[in-house]
Amino acid sequence: MKLPNETIFYSIERAIKEYRRLAQKNISIEIPTITIDQAMVLIFLKKYPDLSQKEIAELVFKDAASVTRTIELMTKNGYLSRSVNHKDKRRYSLRLTEMGVQVLDKMKGIIISNRNKALKGVTDNEIKQVETTLNKIINNCSDHR
């Protein structure tokens, strides 16, 4: 049996962790009050403003309690506003504040730079191959109900 660090799964996880480390370092230089996870929440909410907290949690690969804490902090820091949903009083509507929009605008260049650095020397064909392979692994591991 191979050691964990001799498997593709180790390499995938290491690549993700190295990318997140690079991205957070570069984000923190410009915007020290935001994390990658918070930035992803802002990005998804800007594109899909009607997402529920459960849907956000699935998109950012976090549990619901963690997303709730993240949203609380982002509301406290002025990136999001939260109000009772008029259609369903049990849910909140989340909206980016002007500050949240400004932070996202500031982050665009950082995100592009991070992605370019991480993908330097990687061809479009290689990216497609990796995506195909990862999607096969995802499908093999997912519950098919």
Q: What distance lies between CA 107 and its chain's CA centroid?
A: 13
| Three-state secondary structure string covering 60-122 | CCCCHHHHHHHHHHHHHCCCEEEEECCCCCCCEEEEECHHHHHHHHHHHHHHHHHHHHHCCCC
DSSP 8-state symbol, 49: T
- Could you tell me the residue ranges of all domains in the chain? 4-133
pLDDT, tens digit, 9 for 90 and up, residues 99-126: 999 999 999 999 999 999 999 999 999 9
pLDDT at 93: 84
> Which residues lie below 8 Å from residue 62, measured CB to CB, with a gap of 6+?
37, 70
Residue 145 has pLDDT above 80, yes or no: no
pLDDT per residue as tens digits for the range 28-84: 999 999 999 999 999 999 999 988 888 999 999 999 899 999 999 999 999 999 887
Centroid of chain to Cα 115:
13
Query: What's the CATH number for 4-133?
Result: 1.10.10.10
* 89 pLDDT above the threshold of 90: no
Q: Please report, for residues 53, 76, 105, the alpha-carbon distance to residue 40 in angstroms, rounded to integers and kept in the order given.
A: 13, 17, 13
pLDDT band at 144; cut points 50, 70, 90:
low
Q: Is the per-residue pLDDT at 86 higher than 90?
A: no
Provide the whole-model pTM.
0.85
